[in-house]
Amino acid sequence: MQTLRDPVPKIITLLLVAVILSGCFAAAKKSRILERADRYFKAGEYDKAKIEYLNLLRLDNQNVTAFQQVGFIWFEQGVPLRAIPFLLRVRELAPQNVAARAKLALGFMAVAQLTEARKEAVSILQQDPGNSDALVLLADTS
96: domain CATH number is 1.25.40.10
Residue-number span of the structural domain to which 134 is assigned: 62-140
Domain presence at residue 42: no
Give 8's Cβ-side CA count (13 Å radius).
5
pLDDT digits (tens, 9 = 90+) for 22-61: 556 777 888 898 899 999 999 999 999 999 999 999 999 9
Domain presence at residue 38: no
Alpha carbons 98 and 39: distance in angstroms, whole number: 23
pLDDT-derived band of residue 8, with 50, 70 and 90 as boundaries?
low
Instruction: Give me the number of domains the chain comprises.
Output: 1
Domain presence at residue 115: yes
What is the percentage of the chain residues whose pLDDT exceeds 90?
63
Domain presence at residue 82: yes
Give 93's Cβ-side CA count (13 Å radius).
16
Alpha carbons 50 and 20: distance in angstroms, whole number: 30
| Predicted TM-score (pTM) of this structure | 0.77
Domain presence at residue 31: no
